[in-house]
A and B are shown apart, each in its own frame.
Chain A
Amino acid sequence: MTTIVTDNCKGCRFTDCVTVCPVSCFHYDDEMLYIDPDVCIDCSACIPECPVQAIYEGDDIPEDKEHWIAINAERAPNLPVCEDKMDPLPGAEERKAELGF
């Protein structure tokens, strides 16, 4: 079982998810966030917080997003931890509207 961030997060990086993560396992690059599967406790706290529904839990990952499991696992450990709320990326609101949220 793994919880992952997927492409909806790209270009917006609202960090509502981070504030409720009990173990601070989100990491970030310039584009989006990733979850470190070795630290995440699969508590699902972050899932309902994400305004663009970018986060999925293990049993619920759509087939076309399955490759994100490996992407999260590879990238997260090499990136800085995101512990607190950050400013959304420029254009985040537009992107959110574009995604239909």
Chain B
Amino acid sequence: MSNVGTPDNPLRVAIVGSGPSGFYATEALLKSDASVRIDMLERLPCPFGLVRSGVAPDHQKLKQAIQLYDKIAQSDGFSFLGNVTVGHDLSVDELKQSHHAIIFACGAESDRKLNIPGEDLKGSHTATEFVGWYNGHPDYRDREFDLSHPNAVIIGQGNVAADVSRILSKTTDELKHTDIAEHALAVLSESKIRDIYVIGRRGPAQAKFTPKELREFGELDDCDPVVNAEDLALNSESQIELEDKSNAGNAKVYKLFNEFSQRTPSGKNKRCHFMFLLSPLELIGKNRLEKVRLEKNQLTGEPFNQSAIGTGEITEIDTGILFRSIGYRGIAITGVPFDERRGIFPNNDGRIIDDGNIVPQLYTAGWIKRGPTGIIGTNRADSVATVESLLNDLHNSTFDNAKNGADFLIPLLETRNVRYVTYPEWMKIDTVEIKQGQEKGKPREKFTRIEEMLNILD
């Protein structure tokens, strides 16, 4: 029997990524009976993943999940090493030497492509870039968005598409007391966008919005939601879907569309149009995006399994900007098996597998484990399941030897001149951000460049 997991030889776990799934895995490990030491590695100096840089700035209440993560981070046995990219600053092989187990909770940071002509035209963007930009993610700090055309098109009808559309629909007054990045607020306040077209491949009964996100479009200061009543006609399969008791969410969404379609526009300055059964075929423009060509779809298949197929009928929308929000993909890390098709780390109950065989020591949780679905809380159940697998392996004595954890990694980082950021150092950054926000009536003003964050530490 190995004594790993006892106070003399604690189970050392490295967690890659500091989003919700990393923190819920930490929580579950710390709650277990084993003696555990956790080192969380994060590529940015700031923790919290998409809760900081994905969740919309006008949804501050959701960001309160951070209060719990902050509490977890201050537990005994936890350490944070920010500004460290696994696969670049430290290799997976090195983590295998320093820790008994590694949980990859690194999210899905790349986008799915439409794979249509013109996709790379100037003016065609991913939702990720825009979201990262308005949320002050350092990777997207210097992106430019030209909001001078009166029309904008969003491809996709999930909650990320809703966030992008809502941010474009809101007035400066509705945004200025959120933690939206200053550079973004400046550009948005000059926006000339009047009509926002939110395009779904399938019908109004299949839109992926949650009722709550959609309802907000009926309550905006200066934007009317627009739905064409004819577009709400349903085939019998969709009717069956909406009548199903287990599908209450979609039924509520459909009801909201219906309500929007019966409103007389109140003459607000902006309009957000929800359109269905349309797929983009081509983005057209000489030097930059000028219009998008779309094909009308129809649904085929059984209820709950209907897919959209083209009818050959074409429509076009003039636009200067387009955002695609059709899903995310994970990014491969050297030394970890990768499922190219699904864009995730292949796994069985959180144990990473290669060609069906379990790879010792490697585990995964969150979006990189199951794909980019589910909201913050979904990751809690998911991380608990991964930790259960890990603890089972511990009880079956899969782990041997003592490991040195961060004590092994820190000298490596030092020789490589990596300025790692500890949790107390992050708390300093946090305090300054909150202070610079207060001066402007915002919950915080984020640093949007890594150097700026490091500067206040040295």
What residues make up the interface of A, taking CB atoms closer than 8 Å to B? 1, 19-24, 41-48, 53, 57, 59-60, 84, 100-101
A19/B212 in contact, CB under 8 A: no
B212/A57 in contact, CB under 8 A: yes
Is B413's beta carbon under 8 Å from chain A? no
Given contacts A43-B62, A43-B65, A101-B245, 5 further A-B contacts (CB under 8 A): A20-B380, A20-B381, A44-B375, A45-B375, A48-B248
A19/B381 in contact, CB under 8 A: yes
A22/B377 in contact, CB under 8 A: yes
Question: What count of chain B residues pass the 8 Å CB interface test?
Answer: 23
Q: Looking at the complex, which one of B245, B252, B376, B384 makes contact with A22 (CB distance below 8 Å)?
A: B376
Minimum CB distance partner of B63 in chain A: A41
- B358-394 interface code vs A (CB 8 A; 1 in, 0 out): 0000000000000000011111110010000000000
Residues of B within 8 A of A41 (CB): 61-62, 64-65
Please measure, in the bound complex, the distance between the C-alpha atom of A48 and the C-alpha atom of B215, giving whole angstroms.
Answer: 17
B20/A22 in contact, CB under 8 A: yes
B381/A23 in contact, CB under 8 A: no
A20/B215 in contact, CB under 8 A: no
A19/B380 in contact, CB under 8 A: yes
B375/A23 in contact, CB under 8 A: no
A45/B377 in contact, CB under 8 A: yes
B245/A100 in contact, CB under 8 A: yes
A60/B375 in contact, CB under 8 A: no
Is B210's beta carbon under 8 Å from chain A? yes
Residues of B within 8 A of A43 (CB): 62, 65, 375-377
Please measure, in the bound complex, the distance between the C-alpha atom of A46 and the C-alpha atom of B380, giving whole angstroms.
Answer: 12
A59/B215 in contact, CB under 8 A: yes
The 9 closest A-B pairs by CB, nearest first: A45-B377, A20-B377, A22-B377, A19-B381, A22-B376, A22-B65, A41-B64, A41-B61, A20-B381
Compute the total of residue contacts between A and B using a CB distance below 8 Å: 56
B68/A42 in contact, CB under 8 A: no
Is B327's beta carbon under 8 Å from chain A? no
Known: A19-B384, A41-B62, A59-B215. A46 touches B377 (CB 8 A): yes
Please measure, in the bound complex, the distance between the C-alpha atom of A1 and the C-alpha atom of B219, giving whole angstroms.
Answer: 14
B252/A23 in contact, CB under 8 A: no
A53/B248 in contact, CB under 8 A: yes
- B47-65 interface code vs A (CB 8 A; 1 in, 0 out): 0000000000000011011
Is B211's beta carbon under 8 Å from chain A? yes
A85 to nearest B CB, angstroms?
9
Please measure, in the bound complex, the distance between the C-alpha atom of A84 and the C-alpha atom of B61, giving whole angstroms.
Answer: 23
Minimum CB distance partner of B384 in chain A: A19
What are 16 A-B residue pairs whose CB atoms fall within 8 Å in the complex? A1-B61, A19-B381, A19-B384, A21-B377, A22-B20, A22-B65, A22-B379, A22-B380, A23-B67, A41-B65, A43-B377, A47-B249, A53-B245, A59-B212, A60-B252, A100-B245
Q: Looking at the complex, which one of A23, A45, A57, A59 makes contact with B378 (CB distance below 8 Å)?
A: A45
Residues of A within 8 A of B378 (CB): 20, 45
Please measure, in the bound complex, the distance between the C-alpha atom of A47 and the C-alpha atom of B380, giving whole angstroms.
Answer: 15
B211/A23 in contact, CB under 8 A: no
B246 to nearest A CB, angstroms?
8
A25 to nearest B CB, angstroms?
10
B248 to nearest A CB, angstroms?
6
Near A by CB (< 8 A), chain B positions 28-87 give: 61-62, 64-65, 67-68
Minimum CB distance partner of A3 in chain B: B212
Please measure, in the bound complex, the distance between the C-alpha atom of A44 and the C-alpha atom of B376, giving whole angstroms.
Answer: 10
Minimum CB distance partner of A20 in chain B: B377
Residues of B within 8 A of A57 (CB): 211-212
B199 to nearest A CB, angstroms?
24
Known: A20-B378, A48-B249, A100-B245. A60 touches B65 (CB 8 A): no
Please measure, in the bound complex, the distance between the C-alpha atom of A101 and the C-alpha atom of B245, giving whole angstroms.
Answer: 7
A51 to nearest B CB, angstroms?
9
Residues of A within 8 A of B380 (CB): 19-22
